[in-house]
Amino acid sequence: MELKHIKAGEPIRASLLNSLIDETTKQPPTFSGNKTGLGTVKGFHHSNVLVRILNETGENLNRFAVVALSEPIFEPDNDVFFQEPAFRGLKPNNETKNFAILQTPALQGEIVLGCVAGISIVKIDVQNESDELVTPKDETLMQSSSEGVARIIWKESGTGEKWGLILYPVGGGGETKIYAVVMSAIKCPPDPTLDPDDEDFRNSMGEIKIEGKTYEPEKNENGEPITDENGDKIYHYDKCACRELAGKEDEFPEQLVKGRQIEVIYAGQYDNPDYEPPDDDDDDEPDDDVPEKLDWYLAINTAKIYNAKLNSDVDAGESTTFNVADSDGEIIETTVWASMADEDTYWKSEAESFDIERRETDEGRRLVIVDGRCPIPKEDPEESENPPEPPEPPA
């Protein structure tokens, strides 16, 4: 039946009212097809990306349960593979990147519809009310954090288990995140509203080394790299401000110390204080090596990771220290644990750069070495002092 608008004062026809009731009480989508549960969706119109999910979690799942996407149900040698996507759904954890939210309840071994992209209702274990992102926690709910694979667009107020709406995946549309390592401590400016051309704002900037970007060392008139008193080459890195991070929980409210890994966005250009405009009466050519404008970046998030050198070798399960420098040049000696190494290995400090992350461990919240030079296997002292004789060459 074709529905037409009515004018003010006109009576509502029974047929029109019945059509509205039928539309608003329409049954959920039904499926036709073979015994596998795969087939054509009837009467379902939605902008979300929905696929078939086989519940292989070992449990019966409620509507809006979360599952990790595993391999397809059918291989390409089966014609059903080409009809529509269909995946096996397993129990998720906080490392799960590819997931689906079931749109109907699912018995163990049953195939139902799951949303793999778009907006979906889901239950969230809210850690902090200010959290904007979530990751899968288990098959019943997501967990909020400052990092995640889906964005919260609405949730019930408060902390604990709350219903919410999430948008996923995060970072669609070709968006590329920019990460960097702090090379000189960055102060938060005294007034976040200051313009980047203001001297107080410029003085609060620090240097960052953007991942994947090549930097050339400063050179003398002979084209040779200039070194400092320690013999290290001198580089001029990009400038960055950290005003967006001031006051954030678990962040440095006043500064970002050297070695901290951060996420940044390009913020534009500011006037170079070293640039001197050419004088109309001066015949000298302007210095092309001194640009009029300089690029700068804004720190928007920290990855809670340091990039630093260890002060000594460290065995698995033991601790050592690493140094970070604050904005006044003071060295802060910080304890770090080798919890990520195996019992038969140790982390070797020799001029290597390590990724150090704050993690929850069985012993509490600690800074832990998570990456860098691979752990070195320990040598048996007897074997190292008395190496085996080489085999005799063949006759």
- Out of 264-273, 363-372, 381-390, the most confident range is 264-273
CB 89 within 8 A of CB 116: no
Q: What is the DSSP string of 310-350?
A: BSS-EETT-EEEEEEE-TTS-EEEEEEE-TTS-TTEEE--T
Per-domain residue ranges of the chain: 28-168, 178-303, 309-377
Higher pLDDT, 359 or 73: 73
CA–CA separation, 75 vs 109, rounded Å? 18
Please tell me the predicted confidence (pLDDT) of residue 252. Answer: 45
pLDDT confidence band for 295 (50 / 70 / 90): confident
Q: Per-residue pLDDT averaged across 198-221, rounded? A: 86
CA–CA separation, 186 vs 158, rounded Å? 33
Please tell me the predicted confidence (pLDDT) of residue 330. Answer: 80
Cα–Cα separations (whole angstroms), residue 75 to 86, 90, 270, 324: 10, 18, 56, 52
Tens-digit pLDDT profile for residues 337-356: 887 667 777 787 765 577 88
Please tell me the predicted confidence (pLDDT) of residue 77. Answer: 86
pLDDT confidence band for 189 (50 / 70 / 90): confident
- Out of 21-25, 33-37, 206-210, 291-295, the most confident range is 206-210
Q: Over 80: is that where the pLDDT of 8 sits?
A: no
Higher pLDDT, 153 or 37: 153
| Residues in Cβ contact with 176 at an 8 Å cutoff, skipping those fewer than 6 apart | none
Q: Per-residue pLDDT averaged across 356-374, rounded? A: 75
Q: H or E stretch including 100?
A: strand 99-102
Q: Over 80: is that where the pLDDT of 225 sits?
A: yes
| Residues in Cβ contact with 185 at an 8 Å cutoff, skipping those fewer than 6 apart | 206, 255, 256, 257, 258, 325, 326, 327, 328
Tens-digit pLDDT profile for residues 250-293: 444 467 888 888 888 888 888 888 888 877 665 555 555 678 88
Q: Helix, strand, coil proportions of the chain in percent (round to 5)?
A: 5, 40, 50
Q: What's the token pair of residue 190?
A: 């005294």
CA–CA separation, 336 vs 323, rounded Å? 10
Q: What's the token pair of residue 165?
A: 């709406």
298 three-state secondary structure: strand
- Out of 137-141, 301-305, 339-343, the most confident range is 137-141
Please tell me the predicted confidence (pLDDT) of residue 36. Answer: 41
Tens-digit pLDDT profile for residues 48-59: 788 999 999 999
Please tell me the predicted confidence (pLDDT) of residue 47. Answer: 57
Cα–Cα separations (whole angstroms), residue 103 to 26, 64, 95, 155, 202: 16, 6, 22, 18, 52
Q: What is the mean pLDDT of the chain?
A: 76
CB 338 within 8 A of CB 313: no
Please tell me the predicted confidence (pLDDT) of residue 20. Answer: 45
Q: Over 80: is that where the pLDDT of 304 sits?
A: no
Please tell me the predicted confidence (pLDDT) of residue 64. Answer: 94
Q: Per-residue pLDDT averaged across 193-219, rounded? A: 84
Tens-digit pLDDT profile for residues 66-97: 999 999 988 888 888 888 889 999 999 888 88
Q: Over 60: is that where the pLDDT of 2 sits?
A: no
CB 344 within 8 A of CB 320: no
Please tell me the predicted confidence (pLDDT) of residue 41. Answer: 38
Least confident of 41-45, 124-128, 341-345: 41-45
Q: Over 60: is that where the pLDDT of 317 sits?
A: yes
| Residue closest to 67 by CA, chosen among 76, 83, 56 | 56
pLDDT confidence band for 65 (50 / 70 / 90): very high
CB 54 within 8 A of CB 86: yes
